[in-house]
Structure 1
Amino acid sequence: MRILMVGAGGIGGYFGARLLEKGEDVTFLVREGRKKKIEEEGLRVNSRHGDLHLQPALLTKTMQAEPFDIILLSTKAYQLEQAIEDIRPFVGEQTMILPLLNGIAHVEQLVSAFGEDAVIGGLCFIETTIGEDGSIVQTSPIHQLVYGERGGKRTSRIAKLKAHFDGTKAEFVLSEDIDQDMWHKYMFITAMSGITSLMESPIGPIRKLPSGQSAIRSLLEELEAVMTAIDAPIKKGIADIQLDKVNSMDDSMKSSMQRDMEKNQGIEADHLQGHLIEKAQQEGVSVPVLETVYTKLKLYEENNDRKK
C-alpha cells in the first residue's frame, strides 16, 4: 500500500515515521524548504516511545508521482484549501483520504473536492512540537490515531488498511463508530481550546476556581445542546463525560490553540468555535459562553493581522 503523508510536521511526521519504521511504503509531501532540510539531515523523531532518524521518500507539489492508495492529511484547517489543491495530482479513483484535522467542517470540504466515497473518518490524540533543530518532539504517553469508514461499514479497503497499520509502534485504532468519535473529540477540543485560550491559562488553575468549573461546564453544555439540535451522533450526557475528562488532565495542560496564540500564529477559530456558532444561530440555541470565547479569538486574529 502506497501511503502519502501531507506534511512532515508534528502529527504527519510522527505517524508517518512510525509507519516507515515498521517498513511501510511512505512518502511525505512537503514544501521545498522542508524537503531540503530533511534531505540534508534526515527526519528525526525524539519520543518517549523510541527515537528515530530516517531518510524518507519526499515529494513536493510540483513533482510527479502515481496516485497513492491512501493520503493522510494533518494540516491546520486554514491550510486545508491549499492542501486540497496540492494533493489533487496524487488522488486516483481508488485513493482513500484520511483527515486527522480537529473539528468536522473539513469533511464536507473534502467530500466536495474528491467525492463521498474517497473520504474516510479519522482523528488523533498526540502531543508533539517541532524543536528548534527541526526534529519532531513527542513527550506524552499517548500517540493514538483512530480511523474508520464513515457510517461504520467494515469494508475490504478498511480491512486492508488495518493490516498495514497494525504492528506499528504507535496506537492505530480501527473505530467501531468513527462518526461519533469525531464529534466527541470535536466537543472536547472546542471546549478545551476555547476555555484555555479565553483565560490565557493552563487548565489546572482554571478548574480549581469554582467559577472556572462553572465556565467549563456551561461551555460543554452549550456544545452538547448545539450538537443535539443538529442531530450529531453524540452520546446522551456527553458533557458530563467530557467534564470528567477535563478534570482528569494534568494541571499544566495547555491547548494547542493557546500555544499557537502565545507564538502569534494562526488559529482555527472559525473551523472549531465559529462553525458551531453558525449551527447554534440556525437552530436558535443560546450559546453565550461559546460566543464569549469566539469574540476573544476573533479579536486575537484581528490584532495579529494588524501586526503583520
Structure 2
Amino acid sequence: MELYRVEQIAEGDYGCEELPEGAPVLCSVTLRGPDGASLVVEVPDQALTAQSIQEGCTVLRQDGSLQLVRPIRTSALIGLGALGILFGRKMPGVQVIADSQRAARYTAHPATCNGQPCPFSYCSPSQGQPADLALVTVKATGLEQAIRDIAPFVGPHTVILSLLNGITSEERLEAAYPGHTLWSVAIGMDANRVGRDLVFKAPGRIQFGERDGRITPRVAAVAQYFAACGIAGEPCTDILYKQWHKLMINVGLNQASAAFGMTYGDLAKDTPQRAKMLQAMQEVIRLANAEGVPLPPDDDVVWLAGAIPSFKPDNRPSMGQDIQARRPTEVEEFAGTVRRLSQKHGLPTPANDFFYQRIRAIEAGWAAQPH
C-alpha cells in the first residue's frame, strides 16, 4: 500500500510550446512517503480537481494514479462488551452509542481493562452526528437494533466496520447502508469480561478489507487510523478467507466452551470433547471449500498449536462466558450458519448438529432454573 502526503502541486511548464490540442493539462505533484523520500509524478489537473486533492492531503498511489484518502478524525462505537472495551479504549474521543438508561448504567459502573479504568463518552442515537468511522461490536442478537441506532452517525463518507462473530453481519449492514461497509474480523484476543471488568493477555488485532480484495482509499484510511490509535490492524486482500478462518475457530472453541464448560486450558487437552470440537471445525473447512474459500485441511490443528499457548488458560471464549452469565449465545451465527449452508451442498454436519442442539437445550433450561 503506497501512501504519500502531497507536498506541492505545480502546473506543468510547457515553455514556448502550446499544449497539443486535446491533451490533458498535467500538474507536477511532489509526494513524500512515510520514509521521508520524495517523488514527483505527473497527474492530470482534472483528476486532482475531481477528487479535491490539494497540498497537505494524503493519497494512495496505485497503477500510476492518485486517489484521495479521507482521514478518519471522528469515530463512534456501539456495543461496549469485551471487544468494545478492548478496542474502544484506544480510540481517542470515540462516542459510545447508548441510550440514556444504558449510558447511566455504564457511568455508574465504569469499565476497567486489566485493572485500569477505561473512561468513555456516551451519545444517544437522538443526539448523533455523522462520524468518519462506525465500529459495531454488539452481539449478533443485538445487530438489528444496532443497525437502527447507528443511523444518525452514518454520513456520506462514513466507514462501517463490524467485529461481530460469524460471516453474515456485513451483508446485513451493507443492505441497510449501501457502500459504507468494509468486511472485517477481530482475531487473536483472549479477553474475559465479568460485568464491566475486562482481563486479557493477548490484545488481538483487526483484519479488514474490501469484499472483492481491492486496496482502496478507505482501506488505507482505516489502516492509518488504527496505526495512530495503537490498534493492531491488518489490511487484507483476502478478507473472506480470513472471515471463514475465524468462523472455523468460533465454531470450535466457542461452541466447545459453551457446551462443555471448557476454558482455554481445557481446550488444549486431548479429550473426547476436544475431538468433538475438531470435528466441528473440519465441517467448516469442508463447507468453506465448497463455497470457494480455500481453507487448508489442517487449518484447525495448525492454528490451535500456535494460538492456544498465547491465551490465559483460565479464561474462556466469549460463548463460554455467555453461558456462565446466562446471556443469549451466538450459536445461530456458528452452528446455525454451518448447518444451513451445508444443506445447500449436501454436506453432513453431525458435530455442529450436536453443538446446536446441546447449546439450545442449555439456553432453554434457564427458563426452568431462574437465578
Q: When the two structures are superposed, what TM-score results if normalisation uses the length of structure 1?
A: 0.85
| 1-structure distance, mates of 2:128, 2:107 | 18
Report deviation, 1:246: 6.5
Aligned match of 2:124 in 60, 72, 81?
60
- Given that 2:75 and 2:94 are in contact with CA atoms closer than 8 Å, whether structure 1 keeps it comes out as yes
Identity of aligned residues (%): 22
Give the letter aligned to residue 71 of structure 1.
A
Aligned match of 2:338 in 276, 281, 288?
276
Corresponding position of 2:48? none
Verify: 1:29 aligned to 2:97, yes or no: yes
Report deviation, 1:6: 0.9
Corresponding position of 2:351? 289
Report deviation, 1:271: 1.2
Structure 1: gaps spanning 5 or more residues: none
Verify: 1:238 aligned to 2:320, yes or no: no
| 1-structure distance, mates of 2:304, 2:77 | 33
- Given that 2:192 and 2:318 are in contact with CA atoms closer than 8 Å, whether structure 1 keeps it comes out as no
Q: Whose RCO is larger (CA < 8 A, sep 6+)?
A: 1
Corresponding position of 1:173? 234
Corresponding position of 1:128? 191
Give the secondary structure class of the aligned counterpart of 2:91.
helix
What are the superposed Cα offsets for residues 222-276 of structure 1, whole Å, 9 maximum, x if unpaired? 2211221222353454234234347645543422111211221110111111011
Give the secondary structure class of the aligned counterpart of 1:292.
helix
| 1-structure distance, mates of 2:84, 2:267 | 31
| Bigger shift: residues 166-175 or 90-99 | 166-175
| 2-structure distance, mates of 1:138, 1:205 | 19
Verify: 1:150 aligned to 2:214, yes or no: no
Report deviation, 1:44: 4.5
Give the letter aligned to residue 4 of structure 1.
A
What are the superposed Cα offsets for residues 84-134 of structure 1, whole Å, 9 maximum, x if unpaired? 01112221232211000111011221122112x2110222233335555x4
- Given that 2:241 and 2:295 are in contact with CA atoms closer than 8 Å, whether structure 1 keeps it comes out as yes
Q: When the two structures are superposed, what TM-score results if normalisation uses the length of structure 2?
A: 0.72
Report deviation, 1:7: 2.9
Verify: 1:227 aligned to 2:295, yes or no: no
| 1-structure distance, mates of 2:326, 2:274 | 28
Structure 2: gaps spanning 5 or more residues: 1-72
Against the structure 1 CA distance between its residues 199 and 53, is the aligned structure 2 distance closer, same or farther, given a 3 Å change threshold? closer
Give the letter aligned to residue 11 of structure 1.
L
| 2-structure distance, mates of 1:201, 1:139 | 17
| 2-structure distance, mates of 1:215, 1:301 | 20
Verify: 1:71 aligned to 2:139, yes or no: no
If each structure's helix is expressed as a fraction of its own residues, which one has the higher value? 1
Q: Which has the larger radius of gyration?
A: 2
